[in-house]
Amino acid sequence: MAAEADGALWCPSPNVGSRREDARPSLILLHYTAMASAEAARDWLCNPKAEVSAHYVLAEDGRLWQLVAEADRAWHAGAGAWGALRDVNSHSIGIEICNDGAQPFAAPQMDALERLMQGIMARWGIGPEGVVAHSDTALGRKIDPGRRFDWKRLARQGLAVWPDPAEPGDFLHDAGRFGYDTTNARPEDVLNAVRMRFRPWADGPLDDVDRSLMASLAARYPGPGHSSL
């Protein structure tokens, strides 16, 4: 088949299956590769011994490979949850961004990511609230795409969400309403995931800034399976 995203090279991975229970993609899950090069990540995700894959791999210079058709289930999320969704692989499209987590994400790469996401969101009707980090869905287990990723830039383009000022509330309750799996995670892992995405340079104990941003997000963007009422 041809690649679905403009400019993507089709490089099919054998590590693929059908989405379970006829699930339709409702999430875009962002990762970093933590490998020496985009080509190394691509080749590993296409290696049957790896038993992992992703829909897309994005190089620093904006080059893009598609490894799995968007309608199919790639093996990128592992164990985790977002809102009421427990099989994240069946409900998501995974994008592996070449980065080690310690470096800024290159401008050509971010430009290409925005174009890719715009196409995916249009094809599947995914809103900005459906764009999440691997660290959001795998609390205490994963940290990608990391503290250097520019979530606020995506939010300015309508490609992710960002909190507005709000009255501080119950942090864990609001985090659970937003989508974090607070039932099965330690409170410190929830706080770390929230800060990696929304307060990347914050440290220390939970404070009213954390409570405020979570109250804002929970009110405006309740996760899958939660009502805004």
pLDDT of residue 144 exceeding 70? yes
| Mean pLDDT value of segment 187-213 | 97
Write down the pLDDT at residue 180. Answer: 98
Residue 77 is assigned to a structural domain of this protein = yes
Residue 226 is assigned to a structural domain of this protein = no
Pair (91, 121) in one structural domain: yes
166 touches 176 (CB < 8 A): no
Write down the pLDDT at residue 2. Answer: 86
Residue 229 is assigned to a structural domain of this protein = no
pTM exceeds 0.95, yes or no? yes
Pair (102, 79) in one structural domain: yes
Pair (92, 192) in one structural domain: no
Pair (93, 205) in one structural domain: no
Pair (79, 12) in one structural domain: yes
Write down the pLDDT at residue 224. Answer: 86
Residue 84 is assigned to a structural domain of this protein = yes
Q: Which of 130, 156, 182 is the last residue of a domain?
A: 156
| Mean pLDDT value of segment 155-182 | 97
Pair (91, 68) in one structural domain: yes
Number of domains within the chain: 2
Domain that holds residue 179: 171-220
Pair (27, 122) in one structural domain: yes
Residue 2 is assigned to a structural domain of this protein = no
Pair (26, 136) in one structural domain: yes
Read off the pLDDT of residues 100-138 as tens digits, 9 standing for 90 and up.
999 999 999 999 999 999 999 999 999 999 999 999 999
Q: What is the dihedral of CA 216, 113, 33, 132, to 10 degrees?
A: 20
pLDDT of residue 227 exceeding 70? no
Pair (82, 123) in one structural domain: yes
Write down the pLDDT at residue 229. Answer: 39
Q: What φ, ψ does residue 32 adopt, rounded to 5°?
A: -115, 155
| Mean pLDDT value of segment 23-39 | 97
Q: Which of 111, 126, 156 is the last residue of a domain?
A: 156
Pair (107, 186) in one structural domain: no
| Mean pLDDT value of segment 72-87 | 96
Pair (150, 107) in one structural domain: yes
| Mean pLDDT value of segment 162-171 | 96
Write down the pLDDT at residue 28. Answer: 98
Coil/strand/helix, residue 10: strand
Pair (23, 115) in one structural domain: yes
67 touches 12 (CB < 8 A): yes
Residue 62 is assigned to a structural domain of this protein = yes
Residue 225 is assigned to a structural domain of this protein = no
Residue 163 is assigned to a structural domain of this protein = no
Burial class (CB in 10 A: 0-12, 13-18, 19+), 60: middle
CATH number of the domain enclosing 31: 3.40.80.10
113 touches 56 (CB < 8 A): no
| Cα four-point dihedral sign 173, 224, 111, 96 | positive
Tell me the average pLDDT of the chain.
Answer: 96
| Mean pLDDT value of segment 52-76 | 98
pLDDT of residue 226 exceeding 70? no
